[in-house]
Structure 1
Amino acid sequence: MGRKKEISTDSILDAAEQVIGQSGVARLTIEAVAAQAKISKASVLYVHKTKQALLEALVTRAMQRDDGIHREAELRLDKNDSVALRGRIEVAKTPPPEEFRPIALNLSSALILNTELRRTMQQHQSEVIERIITTSAYPRGALLAYLALEGFKFLDHLDFHKWSATERAQILAELNWLADQDVPVAAATGEKDD
């Protein structure tokens, strides 16, 4: 009797990432994932009943991995202030691998087109922003630095701009500086300060 092939959720999600990276999220099908993972369609359907469930699992895993990487970076910091932000800045010192860029771009398009996935990301971002604010001595400076960091990463991860090593180091140093600034809240245009 032959040995049974071990089918793990991670191996299915890895195959889904490869399909997305090669063909785009529009061509992500249960059949394509099964072929990439070299397993039966029934095996994929056993773990993920629909393409939607597969995408949700993929996005959830990506967020969990992202959180894990940032938490590990936080533990290596020698500062206790703004650890949530500084951990993210530390991770951003290394550019994403080239093979990750098409996956990031395609997952972003899936988030735009899918309300449930977008809600998941919105909840995740709310939690991240709350941690940025609550772990910082200067919450306003840290929040502004986080917003700038996300713009930096957006351009980088979606392959809209590649930063040189010097530019990357300079920008991230400036974001660390901004996190230490006691930035006053500016009045919104058109509103009166009471």
Structure 2
Amino acid sequence: MGRKRVIDQQAILDAGEAVVARLGAASLTLDAVAAEADISKASVIYDFKTKQNLIEAIVERAFRRDREHHAAVEADLASSNSLAIRGRIKVAEEPPPEHFKPVALGLSMALTLDPALRARMQKSQAETISRIIETASSPRGALLAYLALEGLKFLEYLDFHHFASSDRSRIISEIDWLVTATPDDKAGS
């Protein structure tokens, strides 16, 4: 009878995120992840087989955590009016955690360079946009709010710009204002 396996896959993914934050996704190696997790390379290979599989698992976990976090926030909202976008705005009231910014930057590069990962991101974005539009009292306003929110997140998560706390709060408030906006249909003509 063999020894019971006690290596936690989540700990390996945590180690993978730490390596991505430090070196970037392109420089991630199974050796570096094993060293970060203080386990053998064989243990990393046992669970993930390849660097690509490990990166995909890290990305999938990030997507899953994002979905779960937004779902929990939505469940706590008092109103169901434009629920999907209001939940996203509520989440965005807090700036991104500093420790995750280098991970987001590294994973963004992986998403950009890998067509399969990019397709997963495209699918996730399409699902999010559909849900925002379907749950909105003003679908166009909610879509514009989402685009503005994603622009803010892009600047912050990729560490391109930092807003002062008061400016950031005002921006979030103005994005919330967009949710119920009803743009003139002739504006695009």
TM-score, normalised to structure 1's length?
0.92
Give, as a single letter, the amino acid of the residue that structure 1 aligns with 2:180. D
Give, as a single letter, the amino acid of the residue that structure 2 aligns with 1:14. D
For the 8 Å contact 1:140–1:185, the answer to whether it is kept is no
User: Which residue of structure 2 aligns with residue 84 of structure 1?
Assistant: 84
Residues 91-106 of structure 1: pairs in structure 2 closer than 5 A:
91-106=91-106
CA distance in 1, matches of 2:148, 2:186: 17
CA distance in 1, matches of 2:18, 2:116: 22
For the 8 Å contact 2:25–2:55, the answer to whether it is kept is no
Give, as a single letter, the amino acid of the residue that structure 2 aligns with 1:101. K
For the 8 Å contact 1:95–1:156, the answer to whether it is kept is yes
CA distance in 2, matches of 1:140, 1:186: 13
* Closer, same or farther: CA 61–186 of 1 in aligned 2, 3 Å: farther
Identity across aligned pairs (percent)? 52
* Deviation per residue, 1:19-68 (Å, 9 max, x gap): 01111112201111111111111111111111111111111100010111
Gaps of 5+ in 1: 190-194
- SS of 1:6's partner is coil
Gaps of 5+ in 2: none
- SS of 1:95's partner is coil
The aligned length equals 187
- SS of 1:99's partner is helix
Give, as a single letter, the amino acid of the residue that structure 1 aligns with 2:68. G
CA distance in 2, matches of 1:183, 1:60: 35
* Deviation per residue, 1:154-174 (Å, 9 max, x gap): 001111111111111111111
CA distance in 2, matches of 1:183, 1:78: 26
For the 8 Å contact 1:138–1:183, the answer to whether it is kept is no
For the 8 Å contact 2:19–2:33, the answer to whether it is kept is yes
Deviation at 1:70, TM superposition (A): 0.9
* Deviation per residue, 1:86-119 (Å, 9 max, x gap): 1111111111121111111111011110001000
- SS of 2:49's partner is coil
CA distance in 1, matches of 2:185, 2:40: 57
CA distance in 1, matches of 2:19, 2:174: 37
Residues 132-147 of structure 1: pairs in structure 2 closer than 5 A:
132-147=132-147
Deviation at 1:185, TM superposition (A): 3.5
RMSD: 1.5
Give, as a single letter, the amino acid of the residue that structure 1 aligns with 2:95. P
Residues 15-164 of structure 1: pairs in structure 2 closer than 5 A:
15-164=15-164
- SS of 1:181's partner is coil
Flag the structure with more relative contact order, 1 or 2, with Cα contacts below 8 A and sequence separation at least 6. Answer: 2
For the 8 Å contact 1:140–1:184, the answer to whether it is kept is no
TM-score, normalised to structure 2's length?
0.94
Deviation at 1:4, TM superposition (A): 6.3
Higher helix share: 2
